[in-house]
């Protein structure tokens, strides 16, 4: 049965397997599969999550270095998008059946 606890110490991940703060310095980094990462999709997903949480964008490219798969990546600080005011269109009056009948009757 469910019960209410007065307190509980939740376990949190104290560290990532990747040194994101070091790698997110704006430089272009190259890492090698097997040495620096295991899964391309796993790395990209983690890196993109870190970038989003920290207001950055991520550039990645997969390449081969000495016959081994490698990922080249760069974290880039996101620039604020300019606020563009859209021109407002004049609102057209809605034509209802009643308005059409009224107009037709007034013309007679």
Q: What is the pLDDT of residues 51-79, one digit of tens each?
A: 999 999 999 999 999 999 999 999 999 77
pLDDT at residue 16 in the model: 79
Triad 8, 13, 14: Cα angle to 5°: 105
Q: Contacts from 7-16 at CB under 8 Å and sequence distance 24+? A: 16/46, 16/50
pLDDT at residue 28 in the model: 97
Q: What residues pair up with 30 in beta bridges, in sequence order? A: 72
Q: Convert 57-83 to b/e letters by CB count within 10 Å (16 or more is b).
A: ebeeeeeeeeeeebbebbbeeeeeeee
pLDDT at residue 95 in the model: 62
Question: What is the model's pTM?
Answer: 0.61
């Amino acid at each position: 049965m469910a019960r209410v606890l007065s307190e509980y110490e939740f376990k949190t991940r104290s560290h990532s397997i990747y040194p994101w703060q070091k790698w997110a310095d704006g430089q272009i980094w190259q890492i090698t599969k097997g040495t620096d990462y295991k899964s391309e999709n796993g790395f990209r997903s983690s890196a993109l999550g870190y970038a989003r949480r920290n207001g950055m964008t991520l550039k990645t490219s997969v390449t081969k270095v000495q016959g081994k798969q490698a990922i080249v990546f760069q974290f880039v600080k996101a620039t604020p998008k300019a606020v563009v005011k859209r021109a407002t269109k004049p609102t057209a009056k809605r034509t209802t059946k009643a308005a059409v009948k009224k107009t037709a009757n007034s013309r007679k």
